[in-house]
């Protein structure tokens, strides 16, 4: 395995340099290297084992696509309970496991190791600070211990996570809409299934979650338009949560979550994948699955372009058509759901959850063979609209009469 810390001066010119060894970049690297291309991955983190700011919940389709080893999967989930701003509850249950909870740090290490085993050169602890074009392709400039050293490549894959500066300098613009996700690993009692809290009374569009990972450990998170870490601390301080906490010291991390795609995800010699391109579900902020689909589509197009010795933007434009065909409409519908949810008052959200608890619509949708954990925005929109219409015929009476 060729994992190196720091970049050595490189005389070889790679077919592809991948900037970012997160889940999207390392998955792409393994596929490209397996296809016979010379590949280098440059990853800024020294230790890819540190706890990532991510809950690590994916649909079963992600495990199939990426071919996850069983030890990366901590557990599977068949149900979740939604809690309205006024404490009304609604349980969603499926006869089959819909979601998997992953050992997120192990996932990152495994994907990076796979890239190295497939033949990619992997440099960790190295930051790309400059990308210059030349007649032969690109020259990447490094910082830190590798200052002054560079890597040459015919093409690049930008997989550097949310990075408007980098895509801006490459003249691709920046993702226009972000939310912020906050994450904490905590110890709690009495969390036996995923709990999702709609916190519209604190901020429009805000929601929080608790995901059990076994042995009293729980991943807590929030997605909000701002100040996510503060909202997460406040959420963990609510009586219904605090009373179940086992530990007092809680480390909270936060980072931006793109909720719209980059306007253009290719140019001469390069493609952009994963969070860097906004390949993320706008409803939940989940990006592992769409990032992997984009990586696979990008690899197919780039590999073909390299074999033809034509990495022009005209040839690479097929990448954007491919990922849009796979999940472009899901991103658009998801944005509409997010925008509608963001406009609802806490009373409306409470009433919709109350309506869903009484109706069998959600059960029928989830049990239908066409339902997909990853392509849920159509079902969510139907549920929201039907719920809003259902509550119009009834006056609203908040459960418990006040915020939970």
Ligand X SMILES: Cc1cc2nc3c(=O)[nH]c(=O)nc-3n(C[C@H](O)[C@H](O)[C@H](O)COP(=O)(O)OP(=O)(O)OC[C@H]3O[C@@H](n4cnc5c(N)ncnc54)[C@H](O)[C@@H]3O)c2cc1C
Binding footprint of ligand X on the chain (CB under 6 A): 19-25, 42-45, 53-58, 127-128, 159-161, 163, 181-183, 221, 255, 257, 274-275, 280, 285-289, 291
Sign, CA dihedral 75-80-83-87, equals negative
CB of 197 to ligand X, least distance (A): 15
- Nearest Cα to Cα of residue 43 among 63, 69, 67, 23: 23
CB-wise, 57 or 379, nearer to ligand X? 57
Q: Which residue has the tokens 């100040």?
A: 227
Asked if 282 and 260 touch (Cβ cutoff 8 Å), the reply is yes
CA–CA dist 17, 126 (Å, integer) = 13
CB of 367 to ligand X, least distance (A): 23
**Burial of 239 by CB count in 10 Å (0-12 exposed, 13-18 middle, 19+ buried)?**
exposed
CB of 189 to ligand X, least distance (A): 22
CB-wise, 56 or 298, nearer to ligand X? 56
CB-wise, 221 or 346, nearer to ligand X? 221
CB of 358 to ligand X, least distance (A): 29
CB-wise, 39 or 42, nearer to ligand X? 42
CB-wise, 85 or 285, nearer to ligand X? 285
CB-wise, 74 or 182, nearer to ligand X? 182
CB-wise, 152 or 361, nearer to ligand X? 152
CB of 267 to ligand X, least distance (A): 18
CB of 75 to ligand X, least distance (A): 13
CB of 14 to ligand X, least distance (A): 15
CB of 110 to ligand X, least distance (A): 13
CB-wise, 87 or 328, nearer to ligand X? 328
CB-wise, 25 or 354, nearer to ligand X? 25
User: What do you get for the CA distance between the two ends of the chain, in Å?
Assistant: 52
CB of 102 to ligand X, least distance (A): 8
**Residue 244, phi then psi, degrees to nearest 5:** -105, -5
CA–CA dist 128, 272 (Å, integer) = 15
């Amino acid at each position: 395995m060729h994992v190196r810390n720091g970049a050595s001066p490189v005389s070889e010119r790679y077919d592809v340099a991948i900037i970012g060894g997160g889940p999207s970049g390392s998955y792409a690297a393994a596929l490209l290297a397996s296809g016979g291309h010379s590949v280098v991955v440059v990853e800024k983190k020294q230790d890819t084992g540190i706890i990532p700011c991510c809950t690590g919940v994916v649909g079963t389709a992600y495990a199939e696509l990426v071919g996850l080893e069983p030890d990366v999967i901590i557990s599977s989930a068949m149900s979740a309970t939604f809690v309205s701003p006024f404490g009304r509850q609604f349980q969603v249950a499926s006869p089959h496991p819909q979601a998997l909870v992953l050992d997120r740090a192990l996932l990152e290490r495994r994907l990076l190791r796979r890239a190295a085993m497939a033949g990619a050169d992997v440099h960790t602890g190295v930051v790309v600070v400059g990308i210059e074009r030349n007649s032969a392709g690109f020259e990447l400039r490094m910082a830190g211990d590798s200052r002054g050293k560079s890597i040459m490549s015919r093409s690049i894959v930008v997989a550097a996570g949310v990075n408007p500066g980098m895509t801006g300098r490459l003249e691709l613009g920046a993702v226009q809409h972000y939310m912020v996700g906050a994450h904490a690993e905590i110890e709690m009692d009495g969390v036996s299934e995923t709990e999702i809290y709609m916190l519209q009374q604190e901020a429009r569009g805000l929601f929080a979650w608790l995901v059990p990972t076994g042995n009293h450990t729980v991943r807590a998170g929030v997605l909000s338009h701002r100040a996510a870490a503060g909202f997460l601390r406040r959420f963990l301080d609510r009586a219904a949560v605090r009373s179940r906490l086992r530990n007092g010291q809680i480390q909270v991390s936060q980072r931006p979550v793109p909720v719209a795609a980059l306007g253009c995800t290719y140019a001469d010699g390069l493609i952009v994948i994963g969070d860097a391109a906004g390949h993320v579900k706008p409803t939940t902020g989940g990006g592992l699955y769409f990032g992997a689909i984009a990586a696979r589509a990008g690899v197919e197009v780039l590999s073909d372009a390299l074999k033809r010795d034509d990495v022009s933007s005209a040839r690479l434009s097929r990448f954007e058509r491919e990922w849009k065909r796979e999940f472009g409409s899901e991103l658009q519908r998801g944005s509409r759901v997010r925008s509608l949810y963001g406009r609802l008052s806490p009373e409306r959200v409470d009433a919709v959850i109350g309506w869903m608890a009484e109706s069998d619509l959600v059960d029928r949708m989830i049990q239908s063979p066409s339902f997909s954990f990853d392509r849920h925005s159509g079902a969510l929109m139907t549920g929201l609209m039907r719920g809003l219409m259902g509550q119009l015929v009834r006056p609203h009476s908040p459960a418990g009469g006040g915020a939970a």
